[in-house]
Amino acid sequence: MARETIVRKASDLTEEEDRALRPQRIRDMVGQGDVTARLDIALDAARKRSETLGHILFDGPPGLGKTTLAMAIPRELGTSIQIASGAALQAPKDLIPYLTNAESNSVIFIDEIHRLPKIVEEFLYPAMEDFRIDLTLGDGVNARTINMTLRPFTLIGATTRAGMISAPLRDRFVMREHLEFYTLDELAEIVRRNAAKLNTAIDEAACREIAHRSRGTPRLANNRLRWVRDYATSKADGRVTIQLADAALEMQGIDPLGLDGQDRKYLETIIRTFAGGPVGVEAVAHTLNLPPDTLVDEVEPFLLRAGLVIRTPRGRRATVAAYEHLGAAPPPEAAGGATLF
C-alpha cells in the first residue's frame, strides 16, 4: 500500500493531461532562470554556427522539469528527439538503434541515465566524443570489430542521482545543469497558468495555497491543482476558492507544509522508532517497507531542503522543526536544522 502511494505521486496526471500542461518551449517555462539563460546561449550559438549542440546532463529531484527541458530543446532546434530510459538499456545492442537512427543534429534523451550498466556507458563514450561506435560481429576466433560512423547528435541525460554517474561519463557532458526546487512565487505562477489552461476559475489565495503545499515541485503543483479542481466541481460550482483548496488538500492528507502521509510516516519513523536518529536510510526504508532508492530520490530531498531532517556521517536525524511539525516534544539533543522556507 505504502509503495503504491509513492509510485502514484509521479504519475497522478494521465499522459494526456500531462502533455496539455507541460510547457512546450523553453520560454514557456517558469523559473530555473539561470539554467534556461545558459541553454538559450548554447542553443543560439549552435544555430548560428549550424553545429551540433553539446551533450547536456540535467540532475535534480523528480518533477522539477528535466524531461520538460529535454523535450523543449529539439523544438528550439527544429529537430527530432528519441526517448530512452537508462533502466531499459541493459546492453550495448539496446542502444544501437537509437544511435544509428539519430538524424543529424537530433536529440537522444536518456532518462535515469545513472541506471546504465558500465558496459553500456563505455559503449557510449566514443559515440559521444567522436560520433562513432565499435561493433563486434560474430564471436570467438571469428569475432571482428567494425568501426561505424554516426550522424552527429546531442545526448541529453537526466538523473535524480548525479552522484551515481561515473566521472568519465559526467565529463563527456558539455553542460551539466542542476535543477532546484521552485519558489512559492514560481509555483503560484505555474498554478495560475495551468488553471487557465484547464479553464478553471481560481482565487489568487487558492493559487498560493496550492503552491505552498506542493513541496517546491511543479509536478506536484499540477497534481494538487487537478485534485482541488475536481473537488471544487464536485462540492461547489467549480470555482476554486481558498476554503475549497484547503478542504480538498486536507482530505488528501496534504498538510500545511505540503507533506503527504508518506513524508510524515518517514519523519515519524525516525522520531518514534529510531528516537530521532541518527539512523541509516536502509533501516528507515526497511521499516516503511519501501526501497531505499525511493526514499533517497523522492522523499528525502524536500525534507532535507526544508530542514526537517539532516544527514550526518552516522545517518539521518530529525530536527527540532520535524518534532514541532508532528506535534511532538523535541528531546534536548535534537538538531536545530535549517529554517523552513
> Looking at the annotation, which residues are catalytic?
66-67, 111, 160, 219
Look up residue 165 and give its amino acid.
I
Secondary structure of the chain in HEC code, one letter for each residue: CHHHHHHHHCCCCCHHHHHHHCCCCHHHCCCCHHHHHHHHHHHHHHHHHCCCCCCEEEECCCCCCHHHHHHHHHHHHCCCEEEEEHHHCCCHHHHHHHHHHCCCCEEEEEECHHHCCHHHHHHHHHHHHHCEEEEEECCHHHCEEEEEECCCEEEEEEECCHHHCCHHHHHCCCEEEECCCCCHHHHHHHHHHHHHHCCCCECHHHHHHHHHCCCCCHHHHHHHHHHHHHHHHHHCCCCECHHHHHHHHHHCCCCCCCCCHHHHHHHHHHHHHCCCCCECHHHHHHHHCCCHHHHHHHHHHHHHHCCCEEEECCEEEEEHHHHHHCCCCCCCCCECCCCCC
Please tell me whether residue 84 binds ligand ADP under the rule CB under 6 A.
no
Residue closer to ligand ADP by CB (options 66, 172) is 66
Phi, psi (deg, nearest 5) at residue 11: -135, 30
Site string for ligand ADP, 27-56 (x = CB under 6 A): --xxxx------------------------
Residue from the set 39, 46, 64, 102 that interacts with ligand ADP by CB under 6 A: 64
Residue from the set 74, 86, 157, 218 that interacts with ligand ADP by CB under 6 A: 218
Please tell me whether residue 219 binds ligand ADP under the rule CB under 6 A.
yes
Going 238 to 240 to 242 to 248, the CA torsion angle's sign is positive
**Shortest Å distance, C-beta 180 to ligand ADP:** 11
Please tell me whether residue 188 binds ligand ADP under the rule CB under 6 A.
no
Residue from the set 6, 65, 245, 316 that interacts with ligand ADP by CB under 6 A: 65
Please tell me whether residue 23 binds ligand ADP under the rule CB under 6 A.
yes
Residue closer to ligand ADP by CB (options 219, 229) is 219
Binding to ligand ADP, residues 124-183 (CB under 6 A)? 158
Q: Which range, of 62-70, 73-81, 261-269, 314-322, touches ligand ADP by CB under 6 A?
A: 62-70
Q: Which range, of 20-28, 72-80, 95-103, 311-319, touches ligand ADP by CB under 6 A?
A: 20-28
Q: Which range, of 19-27, 49-57, 122-130, 313-321, touches ligand ADP by CB under 6 A?
A: 19-27
**Shortest Å distance, C-beta 30 to ligand ADP:** 4
CA separation for the pair 118, 131 (Å, rounded) = 19
Residue closer to ligand ADP by CB (options 33, 97) is 33
Residue from the set 6, 46, 63, 300 that interacts with ligand ADP by CB under 6 A: 63
Q: Which three cell numbers stand for residue 133?
A: 561506435
Please tell me whether residue 269 binds ligand ADP under the rule CB under 6 A.
no
Residue from the set 6, 9, 22, 248 that interacts with ligand ADP by CB under 6 A: 22
**Shortest Å distance, C-beta 13 to ligand ADP:** 7
Positions touching ligand ADP (CB under 6 A) are 18, 21-23, 29-32, 62-68, 158, 190, 218-219, 222
